[in-house]
Structures are given as C-alpha cells and as structure tokens.
Structure 1
C-alpha cells in the first residue's frame, strides 16, 4: 500500500503510515531535583517478577534436539537467560519431574520444586543459578497444573507477575488440567500471565499449552531444536526487560518564562508535562558553538489526533525563542511517543549572540491539558565546537550472531556492521540496531519477516522498517514514502527495503549527518490475538561508497561522554552487565555509555498508531 505525500510545506514535508507496535514502558516517578543537583537516575516502576518453570520429565532425555538431548538444549537456553538478564531483573526458577524416577503417580505428580527464589540477578544469584542448572536431571512425571499453582505462589500476591513455562509434552498428572489451573489463576484477578514455549511438542500437547497462554493473556512459541529454544525463550523474556523507560537527571523546567528557568548543561534530563503548560530552560551557547536539543514525551496511552510537541531555542527575551533552532512533530492519529529535535546552524544562522551567552530552550506542550496525568519528558542537550571535535568520538564494536539481537530503544540499540543478522521477535516488539556511517557512504537496509500461515492478522497488519539519523529524526526510507507495508492477509516471507541512501552534507531526506544511524523493524498488529506471537526476522545491512573526510560537528552530551570506557551491553538485552546495569537508567552517564559524541539522540522507543501519520516540519526561521 502506498501513501502519497501531502502538500504541507515547501521544505521537504514527509508523511508515512506507521502501525502500532510495542507496549509503552513504565512511567517514572515525578522529578524533583534541580538541574544543578548531582546526577541521579530517575527510576522506573519495578520490573515484573518472573518465574521460569522448566520441564525435567523423562521425555527430556530424548536425543532429538538438533544433535543433542532436549535436556542439554534446555540447559543451554536457561543458562543464556541467566547470563543476559539485567541486574535489576527479578527472576526465579521452578522445575518439575526432576527428582522422582519411580512409577508412583502420587509421588511423581508432587515432584515440583522451587530451586531458585525470585530475586534480583546479582553476581551471587547468577553463580548459584548456573550451578543449579548444570546439575539438572530429567527423570519423572509432567505435573504442569500443580507446578503452575506453585509458581504463582513463588511470585507473591502483588505487582506484575509472569510465569514462563517450557514443556515438551502434555500434563501426565491431570487433574487438575493445566488450562483449568490457568483460568483459576486468571480468575483470581491478579496481574499474572503465563508465556509458554512448546519444545518439540505433539499436536495434542501444543493445544494444551496454547490454551494456558491464551487464557492468561500470555504468549506461545514453538521450538524444534536447541537454537530455536534459546531464541524463543529469550524473546519471551525480553518482553519484560526491553520496554521503554524515560530516563535522565531530574530537572524542573519553568512553566512561565526563561528568566525563571533552570540552567542546563550538555546532558540528558527528565522533566514532565503537566496540564497544557510549556517547559523553559536556560542554556549557555557561544556564537561559535552549535546546539542540539531534543525532547521526547512518553505517554501511558495513545495521543489524541493533532497532539503536537515543539522544540525551539534562541536568545531569551524574544517571545518564543527560535533564532537558533525550531523543530516540531504532530500526531495525526495516535502515538505513545512524540519526539522532536534539531540542531542550530553554524555561522550567522546559529551564532546569534545572547546576553552573557545564555539562551533559552522552550518545549511546547501541545499534548496534555488540564486534568491529564503528568507525562514524562526527556530533554537532550548537546554542544559542538572545536574542542569537542578534538576530543573525538568513540564507536562501539559491532556485534554478530546471537550477540547482535536488537535492543529496544535508541539507548540500547545494538551496534552492527554490514551483513545479515537473524533473530526472533514477538508481535508487539520493535528492536533497534545502530550502524556507523561516514559522509560519502551509502546505506541499504533489507528487513524480512516470515509470517506463519495461521497468523491471526487483521486489515491493519503490517511489516515496518524505519531508519533514524543521528539527530533522532526519522529519515526517508524509500521513494514510496512508506515505512510500513500492509500485509492484507499475506503470509510467508515479506521484505521491506530502505535505500540505497547516500550520507551527504546537504539536507537529503534526513541523511545529511555522518554518525550513528538507527534501524528499527517491527510487525505492526493492533489485534490482541496476535500480540506475543513469535516470528523469525532477518536484517541485511549493506554499506557501500567511498568515505569522505568528516568535517561536520561532533556533539558533546555531558562530561561523561568525553571520558571513560563504553561498556559492552549484554548480548540479549543490550544493557550494560554487572554493576554497570544500573547505569542504564542514569542521566548523562547513560548518554556517555551508550552513545558516542556524534550527535546521537537519547533513547526513544518510537511507537506507532493505526494509520498514524507523523508530520515532521522543520522551520529554522
């Protein structure tokens, strides 16, 4: 399906249809500290507690899982979950069929044990978990229903809870039938869902396991060998660990004017929209410097049609500051995030002196009104001059294979190079990757998805591919101006292609700045029946052309961005491992560790809406 470009403005207007994908991340507590306070990350709500329930019945000893036993494949898959879980993940482990090898049904059907309590994954917890998994044996019955009841107890009675069940067959201990147990748990009114991986399961067992997932609002995936078990199990866990969290150093912008606003230095800040009030900040910028400002509003629910966010900056005292930069974005349908950002121009256009070199940033709130809940707003501020260019920029090493699984925001986007990368995602996810590009190079991205024949799609089902430039601006994908291809009931292999697009020094559909480009792929499907279905995807990146010397600006986003090593995010989550995992939610340290000083925007997970047209209109005047 093609969408024509509407005649909005003479300066490169764009319109694209984007379908809804992804659950919005948890909203944060209100920010209270001033910008001058010590950097402190604003925390999200606690993540869901997850209990992994693993089948260790005798059938797991069969040697039909891609050259190894099912048990060996399960150990491999669970070990990867343990190794890649972020430190703040609250994870427990229960097994069944692991201790009683006899034939007494009463004893065999009581054979379920919690081997690891639900707890955060610190170093000691990981070590203990690895030791337990290494010693697993598969000997007994398959008491799925009983184990689900006990797993619900493991998770406690409050907060969001999930059970992830891995089984290779039917319950051999019913009653209670496991699907009845699932209904019982759901009927208790608690926030509990069960995700299920059927491991080489026959059709009767598959129906039973799918029922467990469906009645609790969970997801189901099949696995035929060790690799697919590892991938699909990891995909289900990522749903809890890769949602978007607004982050930054807490700040309270003025609702009145710039004279009463806090002074912000380069870095990332977290504020909030309240009522219909705009936000003001003061910022230092010499005439020889360039300024980058980006703002992102994160909604708990979709925006109303026509919601608008505007970012502008310039000398204070002239009403709406706009002499340095002005950028805005409008929602024509609904969206969970609206993001706008821009850079001042070098020379006269962006070098207008301000009194005492202090200017004003204004973030216009065309989103919330009186009576609405406060809405988190991320503010990113960067400066470029000769000193930032001299300092240079660090680029993370590209990753390959399983380590190249996409992250779920700009912050956690996975660095990759040219080549083909494969993984599985669930409907409702939109992974991000990042590619480093230089002036003169050309980027081509091809993304493919395999839609199963029984996929419960609707008229709005689509396969979406987007490219974002270093300014956190969506770049034009192709000449059709489409970012999403509606499938209209098609199944099988579907591909989208962006490019080839050359990185130039002129404004060329968003490809005018060397640096980090972001790639996002997603299956867009609003129907709840499809959410959580696992589909394999492939991403092929080609970088061609001869690089030219880079003479453009290098932006600095805080002191930390210019010093210290950049940690390697964990393979499956894209987050820093060990003690660095907490930094994933922290202010300028976040920018320093996860974005080189190349004008990269802070993390924003862009969510679409049914027939959403995002209209980005630039106006530097």
Structure 2
C-alpha cells in the first residue's frame, strides 16, 4: 500500500505585488555599494569544510576485470580522478593507498605497504594537478593491510575538526592483526570526531561483512559498487556528503534593524546577512518607473526550523516604514526544511504603486524565524532589475548536461542544468541535490523521482522520499495533491514521487497569481531527497533516478529579463533564460547594452548566480502571521 505524507496546504499566494512607479526620476546606480549599519552583528563565518582522507586499495586483486570489462584499477582511477576534479578549492582532501609498492610474498613487508601519497590539503589548482598525476601512475601489486592503513589515515587527518575517512576496498584484510573492525572501534573509543565511510568494490560476502562493520562502529556508511560507473557514483555521493553541506554565500551586507532610514543601499546582486532574535532586515534600493524589481530571500538553519516559521519579503517606498506597494511575498515552513525561501516581483504598468522620492525604495525581510536567544542565522538576499536594456540584451540558457555530468548540485546557484529525459545517480541519505530546467509559457512540466531502498533500510515513521519544485522566484510550487513526501512505512524497493503535469503561464497584468506557483516562466528548480532520515540511515547510499518531461507548445511572447549583478560569490553553474527573454533569478550573460543607465550597460553579467541552499525537506504551507501591524 502506498502512503502519501501530507500536511494541509492552503496554497498561499501571497502576491501582494503592485506595479511600477508613476513618475520617478533618478537612474539606477549600479556602482553603488552596500554600506554597513552601525552596531549590526557581523555575518557569521561559514564552518570549515570537512577534512577527508581517501584510502584506496591497490592490492593485486585490483588488476582483475570489473563488470564493465575494464580492470578494477582503471575503474578506481576514473572514480578518484572525478573526485579530484569536482572537489571545491577550499575542501581539504588527502589520499592514502595500500598495496601499491611491494609485489613480493614477505608478509611483514607487504603488510607495512601503506603510503600517504597526497597530504590533506585544499584542492587549489596546483594540488589538483599533482593529485591527478599521482593517480595516473598508480599500480596494484601487493597485500591488503586495511587495519594498519586506517590507523595511519586517522593520523593524516590531525586531531581537530570534522574528519572523514573514505575507504575503497575489493576484499578482506590479508594482514590482520590488527583486524580492521577492531581498529575502527579503537578510533571510536578515543573519542575522535571521525567517521569511516566504506565502498565495497565487487567485494565478496566475507569482505562485505568486515567492511560494513568498519562503517557501522564509526557511524559511517557502507555502499556496494559493481562496476566503474557505480564506484564513481558512490564515491561522489560520499564526498558530497562531506563537502556539500550548505554554506550561505553572497556579498556581506548588514541590513538595518531599525527601519528603512539609514539602511544600506543594495544594487542588483546576491548578498549575505544575518537574522538575529526576531529582528527584521531593511535595505534601500533604486528603481526607475520603467524598471521591475525582484527580491528573493532565503534563510538557512543548521538544525532545521520550528514549524510555523515564516519569512516575508516586501518592497516599496520607505515613507511609512512598512514597504509593500511594489511587492510582498511570504512562505511558512512545516519544520522539515533547513531553509525557508520566497521571492517576489513588481508588476509592469503604472498607477498602482506609490512613487518613491528620488527612486529610492526600501526592502524589508521580515523575520518570523528566529526569536530572542536563538543563534544568528544566515540570510541570502537576491536583488534583480529588469528594464528595456536587459530585455534587448537577452539571456542565454545553459547547455543541459547528461550522464555523469548531470549529478545534482547543492544549491539554487549550483543546480545542474538538465533537459527532458531520465537522469540517474546515487544519493546519500541526508543529501538534497538540485537540478534546473528552463521553461517557456505554454510548456508543461512533469517530474518523476524514484529511489531504490534496500532491504533492511532503517527508516523511522516519518522517513520518506521527497521531490520539491521551485519556480524562478525561488518559491516552492505545488506538487499534485499537496503531498510532498512519500512515506516508506517499512517498504523497500522502488518508491516514486510524481509532480505534474503543470502548465507554465504568465502572471497577468492585474497580478493575479496561480495558486500552484507555475505562473513565472524561466528557470525551475528540482530538489530530491530522502527526508528526515533516522540517525542510523544517514549517509546510506541508494540509487535514484529523475525523469523530466517537457511537453506542450511554447508561446512566443517575451517576458522580462532580470539582471542580478556581477556577483563573484556565485557558483559555477551557467545561468540562463527560458528562451522567451525571462531570466530566472540566476544571473546571465547578455551582451552589453548601449543604454548606460541600464544595469547591463554598467555591469557585466556573470555566469552562475543566486543563493545557495541545501533543502532537507521542503514541506511548506501558506499562512500569514505577522508580529506587529500589517
């Protein structure tokens, strides 16, 4: 029996967005920079990424063929090279091998054959090139001293900070004592903050029991790999688990907590600020009467949110201290997400907005998330402007990726561009990868995500498979019958979630909103996860697939192109538009416009953009809650 886990979801739409200003004179000033508010708390520093040491089996059995017709050694080289290529520059990575240098039969000598070939160091360009050169020269010749290598690998990582060992082995330890599982217990008993993840590469049943024990006693995870592709996928998932926990990004800014007066001036770009207590954040922004404004805000929690937490963005003239005449959007969390995100756009036309003196308006990010005594919480603010010049410049869509290159990213800005088709990868429980797809008005989107749950999977009563869609304003859209997560309820095998088909529309000039959220053409984001896992299940690697279908005939009308600034904090994903001119909150690379008063005429657009987020849930309902006067 299939069970769908649902919360009541009176669909929000929140749009209290008004239109462009009547008669404002000043031009947008892209050169303006964000100033600091006196007395505002400093933006919290992102935690250091985990230090990871890869321990690779180069014993003689690695010369045997894998299921794909290549040697296991060749498959391992491919997988490790992919890890080196994909490692963030700031991520400390080390590499230790065993069985790599001694081809003889002397057990004492063979069981001492373990070397640190790459110190644990950030993967800058020089370290990356050196590591790949070393991997290319690997040979598999010797014994399998797993226990000894684990001890040495722990020493390689040092004694402080978050540390992980990722062990790849195709067989039993041939050198015990010390038995590998006893070494793992020994490391755990030392109170060291260290976990060991293990990939059994075509390992026999006797070796799997030993390797699983290593993972179990250190609170690590275990995965089986049968060929080169599955080894690459499993290693990728394990390394992402260590590296891709969410780090908020953006240009540091300190919004006013005392209202619009004295707030910093922000121009198109991505900013990073902080929620403290229950205090709202205020910023000033310039917008001409012919321009449209987008504001998106994402609050990021380390431990998840209390249910009922709300984030709201609003913008308008600053005179009454409660800006809302240009746009107002909000969203509420039901507690399974470690982000709350929402965004809005002003509408075109004239006559429905209050004018702002000197074209200076105010943005307010309302904080119904943190309370007095809570830890500071990072908040990302994305500001965009659309006008005639950005429309003429246009925007390009990123080239969709396929195969291994279509592995999901871990934020809005690093979401992997994909097209219609089925995309497969492995996912570690607790991950929440992102993909992006470009959509035009008139097209219909259907997304199906499936996950293969192994026998004995340790799920809790609320563990399930979730697929969440976000539109170009970074608002969550509805997935069919309000269901967000498909509960496992002890089931194993393939479990699916389907969203759609949903037709993409354009919001009309009156601002009437689609209650399901599919009224903003452009970049849509797809996020998948095994939600709220039991502690015992965290890190378990399971296969998943994502099928995207885009049907229908796109309409020809042109939508606005939003410029989001030349933001160096953005991720590596190329940005794009929907092909109708709508640039979906992710930056862009149009050619320079001739109108120097336009943001495009002054600033070059970067590839990539937006606010990074890692979603662990995404169960959201709309309910307006205000602390003070509305």
1:324/1:349 contact within 8 Å kept: no
Displacement, 1:274?
Answer: 1.6
| Residue in structure 2 matched with residue 92 of structure 1 by the alignment | 94
1:140 corresponds in structure 2 to: 142
In the other structure, the counterpart of 2:544 is 537
Shift of 1:543: 1.1
Task: Tell me the C-alpha RMSD between the 2 structures.
Answer: 2.8
1:44 to 46, 56, 68: 46
1:375-433 per-position Cα deviation (integer Å, ceiling 9, x unaligned): 11111111112122112112211111111111111111000111111111111111111
76-85 vs 465-474, which moves further = 76-85
Q: Tell whether 2:614 aligns with 1:605.
A: yes
Where does residue 561 of structure 2 map in the other structure?
A: 554
Deviation at 1:150, TM superposition (A): 0.4
Equivalent residue for 1:122, pick from 121, 124, 145? 124
**Which position in structure 2 is the counterpart of 1:35?**
34
SS in structure 1 at match of 2:344:
strand
**2:532 touches 2:616 (CA, 8 Å); kept in 1?**
no
Matches within 5 A, 1:39-438: 44-333=46-335, 335-348=337-350, 351-438=353-440
Moved more, 141-150 or 319-328: 319-328
What SS does the corresponding residue of 1:114 show, helix, strand or coil?
Answer: strand
Offset from partner CA, 1:217-238 (integer Å, 9 cap, x none) = 2111101111111111111111
The more displaced of 450-459 and 468-477 is 450-459
Give, in angstroms, the shift of residue 142 of structure 1: 1.0
How far off is 1:524 after superposition? 1.7
Contact 2:35–2:254 (CA under 8 A) maintained in structure 1: no
Shift of 1:273: 1.2
Q: Which SS does the other structure have where 1:592 is aligned?
A: coil
* C-alpha distance in structure 2 between counterparts of 1:3 and 1:121, whole Å: 42
1:482 counterpart = 2:483:
yes
CA distance in 2, matches of 1:290, 1:302: 33
In structure 2, C-alpha distance between the alignment counterparts of 1:532 and 1:5, rounded to whole Å: 27
* Aligned equivalents of 2:285, 2:245: Cα separation in 1: 31
How far residue 618 of structure 1 moved from its aligned partner, in angstroms, is 11
Give the secondary-structure state (helix, strand or coil) at the position aligned to 2:313: strand
Q: 1:47 to 1:333 in 2, by over 3 A?
A: closer
Is residue 171–residue 178 contact of structure 1 (8 Å, CA) maintained in 2?
A: yes
Please state how far the C-alpha of 1:190 moved relative to its aligned partner: 2.3
2:515 maps to 1:513:
no
In structure 2, what is the Cα distance between the partners aligned to 1:334 and 1:208? 35
In the aligned structure 1, how far is the partner of 2:288 from the partner of 2:251? Answer: 24
Report how far residue 144 of structure 1 moved.
0.6
Would the alpha carbon gap of residues 249 and 343 (structure 1) be closer, same or farther in structure 2, given more than 3 Å must change?
same
Q: Distance in 2 between matches of 1:91 and 1:354?
A: 52
- Quick check: 125-134 or 344-353, which moved more? 344-353
The structure-2 alpha-carbon separation of the partners of 1:199 and 1:447, relative to structure 1 and needing over 3 Å to count, comes to same
* Contact 2:344–2:473, Cα closer than 8 Å, also in 1: yes
CA contact (8 A) 2:166 2:196 kept: yes
* Pair 1:590–1:382, CA change in 2 (3 A): same
- Cα 1:553/1:55, change in 2 over 3 Å: same
Gaps of 5+ in 2: 16-31, 37-42, 508-512, 577-601
Structure 2: how far apart are the matches of 1:128 and 1:442?
47
Aligned to 1:594: 608
> Are 2:433 and 2:614, in contact at CA under 8 Å, matched by a contact in 1?
no
Equivalent-residue separation in structure 1 for 2:612 and 2:351 (angstroms): 28
> For the residues of structure 2 that align with 1:139 and 1:232, how far apart are their CA atoms?
24
Match of 2:501 in 1: 500
Q: Provide the rounded CA distance (Å) in 1 between the counterparts of 2:151 and 2:9.
A: 59
- Mark the CA change 1:10 to 1:517 in structure 2 (over 3 Å): closer, same or farther: closer
SS state at 2:178 partner: coil
Distance 1:335 1:513 in 2: 23
Change in CA separation of 1:217 and 1:122 when aligned onto 2, cut-off 3 Å? same
8 Å Cα contact 2:409-2:433 kept in structure 1? yes
Change (3 A) 1:590 1:535: farther
Secondary structure (helix, strand or coil) at the match of 2:491 reads: coil
Single out whichever of 120-129 and 242-251 deviates more from structure 2: 120-129
Aligned-partner Cα distance in 2 for 1:64–1:101: 21
Distance 1:125 1:8, change over 3 A: closer
Aligned match for 1:524, one of 527, 531, 535: 531
Give the unaligned 5+ runs of structure 1: 14-32, 570-587, 596-600
The separation in 2 between residues aligned to 1:345 and 1:200, in whole angstroms, is 58
Q: Distance in 1 between matches of 2:13 and 2:427?
A: 37
Count of residues paired in the alignment: 570
Q: CA deviation at 1:467?
A: 1.3
1 CA distance for matches of 2:188 and 2:605?
41
